[in-house]
Structure 1
Amino acid sequence: MVIFQKSFIILWLVLLAGCASTNSTKPESTNTKSPPAKQSKESNNKGGYYLDDGPGDNTSIDIASIPDAEPRTEKPLVSSNKPYQALGQKYVPMKTYAPYSKQGVASWYGKRYHGRKTSSGEVYDMYGMSAAHTTLPIPSYVKVVNPTNGRAVVVRVNDRGPFKHDRLIDLSYAAAYKLGLVAQGSGLVEVTAIDTSPEALSIAAKTNVAAVEPSSTSTAQTTELISSSNTNNTLISQSAPSKAISPSGYYVQAGAFKSEANGELLQKKIMDLDLAGDAAVTNVYNNGLHRVKLGPFSSKREADIHANKVRSQLNISAIVTNQ
């Protein structure tokens, strides 16, 4: 009996020890920090947004019906247009409007930044028509065109970025959606600054066109609407009439517009600055576009000289042609 009791006690102690071992807890890790947000793109053939970013949860918004930003005259913010550094690169923002037209890659940002403050101090709204740019004035307005599908939007620049060397502009989710860039996360676009001076906006309202109108042919032929300070909000009344150009010689094409009025404004600006010398400045309609040309010049070298004058004085594209 004693032996049985001792055996029972020993068996009970063994079972008790086993239960205690089963219920013991694993010591917690000393690393209590959350893992950093992933910065890699979604693994698909077309690219994509950051894994912790993306479209919002509000599916009731009709994004296609969201109106473009409406250009208006705004005073640049001193604090937002000072020189700054980001990722080791120095940037010097423009403080006022200057003609700007460039082609590059656009990306977009959505719910990850929705509700956060932008460089202008405004709160970012992913359903607004806004954008971030490294050097354009804050605030300012640009027209963004997707050359792949022909879609275009007007957005208001109110933030800084993107700071990757291969990116030109960061668009809001709504702007990217309307351009057809959401699915692939980024895409090639043409960005052109809009002159929002009272004079330019007045002319745009009268002619029912935007203050900037890129050519539909190529980036090299894209230019901005240049409003002269002495036009007094009127269209061209002193410029030379459009006339045919002789097929011989070399010419400088300074711009190509769908609107004749835009071509005439650039034509007058070139004449006022005497950028053509003794050559004629014409606004010729050809193949659906009004092309502003200087010439003819007797040699390509002479045409190149005047093309460089146009580029340096007006900061716009100018190409030399032989027709």
Structure 2
Amino acid sequence: MKSFDKRITLALAALVALAGCGGGNLAPAPQSASTGQVYGAAVSDTPVIIGDPYTIEDRTYVPADPQHYDEVGLASYYGNELSGRPTANGERFNPSGISAAHRTLPLPSYVEVTALQTGRTILVRINDRGPFAGNRIIDLSVGAARQLGIVEQGTAPVRVRRISPVESDRARLRIGQPAEPRLDTSPQLLTALRARFEQGGGAIPQAVPSPDVPAAANAAYAPAAAPISTPAPPSSANPGVTFQVEDEARPVRPTQPRPPAASPPPAASGTYFVQLGAFSNAANARRLANRASALGQIQVTTIDNIRRVRIGPYPSETAAREALSRAHSAGFGDARIFRDTGR
């Protein structure tokens, strides 16, 4: 690839902010309870799995759920030789689907992948672990590699940026179909990204929050931190609901009094939560918690200044799905199931 003036990279962070507007070794064993599920209608985006640290050839990888992930590096692809093999989150690998393996991002999660040689950008669903060969940052399915136009090359320089796509695009990827076409990268940004790759690639710092990805979307699948409990509101005001707020001085209180219950339910336990929303603004989180207080035990936890409003915990995915259905019926259409792996 042609070398570019290194001074161009000084403008990379600003260009990235503007753009926001618009086979290796075997992966770790599947960590989903539904190992080997059939690819297609049974594939789900919940629960999201982060997973425990794992070691491949003396190198340890620590899965995480970063609010911002944007990196330049090499992409490779894997294909029919692994068709039907369980992926790291328990699905069956579909070579013709638009999916990929990543070493640390949550399973599943969604990324835009841009080919630096052409500017073509596609949306990809992460459902596996890898790659573990060389300095590659993502391993695409052959279907994704074909859509991106890099099958003949084998490996290619790319940009990988985590996003929160609309549900219609998620649904298409879950059944192995491409999402709606993305806009190609602008020539100015492409020049800066190529220069970044020539200098060794790596993570792109976040200059400003991306306007197309609100805090709630960025934090949709963030893991639960151990909350710091504060005194619950008086039982006469809000019986049967335990409020837990981290980094908040005041307890969450309901907007209107509720009639007293005969007796409060026992404290819940488990690893599944229903997340109703996530906010950088404490007042917005408190309002949502108050509005949802009739649904059950509320937790408001803060991680990296993002406040996550959740119901739970629940002992099983079945119980969490029942709670999710109640949340949707109550008007919380963005509610999702999240699994706390206990890390």
TM-score band, normalised by the shorter chain? Answer: 0.3 to 0.5
TM-score (norm 2): 0.39
